Amino acid sequence: MSSSHDRIESTPEVTYTESEWREKLTPEEFAVLRQAGTERPFVGEYTDTTTEGVYSCRACGAELFRSTEKFESHCGWPSFFDPADSDAVILKEDSSLGMRRVEVICKKCHSHLGHVFEGEGYPTPTDQRYCINSISLVLKPAQ
């Protein structure tokens, strides 16, 4: 997967110390957002949500995805075929767990969101699946 967002800028726009992040986030949120953890499949708040609105980063509030790009992938996590703004996320090579994946990171605060996969055959305009942890997101319903 080629992206102009394969690098991480040296300093995110929103910065906190580790102890400040721990104070701001619950232990579960911290484990996913700041330590690149993964929530269990099929338990997240937004896995099956069809509410129209905007999904923002739980850590910093940056707009990341819109419900118009969300689709049902049956993978256990919310799936989107494109970020709300192509500059909202950074894509980073991830070779943990002995496989090649592409990590999705919030550009504004560098929090871990999930991973993006392509070529899986979903009927979406981009042939990509941004597999995002519900705990990394906050949904603001459309008015």
Closest CA to 71 of 33, 125, 107, 111: 125
- Classify residue 31: in a domain, yes or no: yes
| Residue range 17-33, pLDDT digits in tens | 999 999 999 999 999 99
Number of domains within the chain = 1
Type of residue at 19: S
Domain assignment of residue 8, yes or no: no
End-to-end CA separation in angstroms for the chain: 35
Domain that holds residue 94: 18-141
Q: pLDDT digit string (tens) for 124-142?
A: 999 999 999 999 999 999 9
Residues with active-site annotation: 131
Within-domain flag for 130: yes
Decide if 5 is inside a domain: no
Chain mean position to CA 90 = 10
* Mean pLDDT in residue range 89-101: 84
Q: What is the CATH number of the domain that holds 81?
A: 2.170.150.20
Residue 127 — φ and ψ, nearest 5°? Answer: 55, 30
Evaluate whether residue 11 is within a structural domain. no
Taking alpha carbons only, the member of 138, 139, 120 closest to residue 129 is 120
Task: Report yes or no on 1 lying in a domain.
Answer: no
In a domain, 9, yes or no: no
